[in-house]
């Protein structure tokens, strides 16, 4: 907002100064016209007067255009800046690598799995509430992963595709569609959970239907929807859910945004 005020003030001052100059030139020119009319040089004076006036007016227009660029230049609101700095909205993907020194605060779900300690209660409560209404075929298959393990999973995936007869280039491309590079995977920040057997059969489970209707109340979103593959660069994964907090989850769902779109939305508002 400060940049907008400065731009507006600058624009007003330029216009004011030009108007004063135009007024002075016009008065002087009228006097000159009157004097020189008696000397037979009125045409030359008129031409000079019109030329000077037009140039000054053009200067005012050009000056206004320049400052309107400043005035109308977008500035992200203070509220949006605050949201963008929220740990719950950390964007980690093929373009955005997490800081290599970032270590999420972790708590254990069980002996094998960990989740961000600031969000683990929401994950556990969500699963308990599913169990309470008879949805028992649900478990957290994969949660936090150390970046070193991420690298190992990539190597395993590439090898599997090679054994299927794919070229190295094809194997790497297919792997990139499902497994993020180390430090570029949400599992490395402890805010993502893969449910059940990590396959498309999960889409037919009662748990998936329930999650689509209720997960936002616990702060979770379907991270890689089928209609957002061109944006996320990750194939549709009905099993992969990401914690962003209830207020953000509801707003993103209302807007129909994936996380990448929501981040851009905040930057422009």
> Alpha-carbon distance 93 to 110, whole Å?
27
> Alpha-carbon distance 95 to 82, whole Å?
22
> Alpha-carbon distance 80 to 87, whole Å?
14
Comparing CA positions, the residue from 222, 142, 220, 151 lying closest to residue 180 is 151
Strands (E), the chain: 106-108, 114-116, 140-142, 192-195, 220-222, 240-243
Which residues have a Cβ under 8 Å from the Cβ of 235 and sit 6 or more positions away?
177, 178, 224, 229
Catalytic residue numbers read 237
3-class DSSP assignment, residue 151: helix
Which residues have a Cβ under 8 Å from the Cβ of 218 and sit 6 or more positions away?
122, 123, 125, 126, 246
> Alpha-carbon distance 223 to 114, whole Å?
19
Query: How much of the chain is helix, strand and coil, in % rounded to 5?
Result: 60, 5, 30
- As a dihedral over the C-alpha atoms of residue 17, residue 20, residue 26, residue 29, rounded to 10 degrees, the angle is -80
């Amino acid at each position: 907002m400060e940049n907008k005020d400065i731009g507006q003030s600058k624009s007003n001052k330029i216009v004011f100064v030009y108007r004063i100059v135009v007024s002075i030139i016009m008065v002087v020119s009228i006097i000159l016209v009157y004097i020189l009319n008696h000397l037979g040089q009125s045409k030359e004076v008129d031409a000079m007067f019109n030329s000077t006036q037009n140039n000054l007016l053009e200067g005012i227009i050009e000056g206004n255009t320049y400052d309107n660029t400043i005035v109308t230049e977008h500035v992200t609101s203070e509220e949006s800046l605050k949201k963008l700095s929220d740990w719950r909205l950390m964007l980690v993907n093929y373009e955005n690598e997490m800081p290599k020194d970032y270590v999420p605060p972790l708590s254990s779900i069980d002996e094998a799995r960990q989740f961000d300690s600031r969000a683990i209660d929401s994950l556990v409560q969500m699963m308990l509430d599913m169990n309470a209404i008879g949805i028992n075929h649900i478990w957290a298959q994969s949660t936090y992963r150390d970046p070193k393990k991420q690298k190992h999973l990539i190597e395993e995936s590439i090898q599997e595709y090679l054994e299927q007869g794919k070229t190295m280039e094809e194997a790497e491309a297919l792997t990139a569609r499902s497994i993020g590079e180390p430090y570029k995977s949400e599992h490395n920040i402890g805010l993502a959970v893969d449910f059940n057997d990590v396959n498309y059969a999960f889409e037919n489970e009662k748990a998936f239907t329930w999650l689509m209707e209720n997960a936002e109340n616990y702060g979770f979103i379907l991270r890689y929807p089928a209609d957002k593959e061109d944006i996320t660069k990750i194939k549709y994964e009905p099993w992969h859910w990401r914690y962003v907090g209830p207020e953000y989850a509801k707003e993103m769902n209302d807007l129909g945004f994936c996380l990448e779109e929501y981040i851009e939305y905040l930057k422009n508002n």
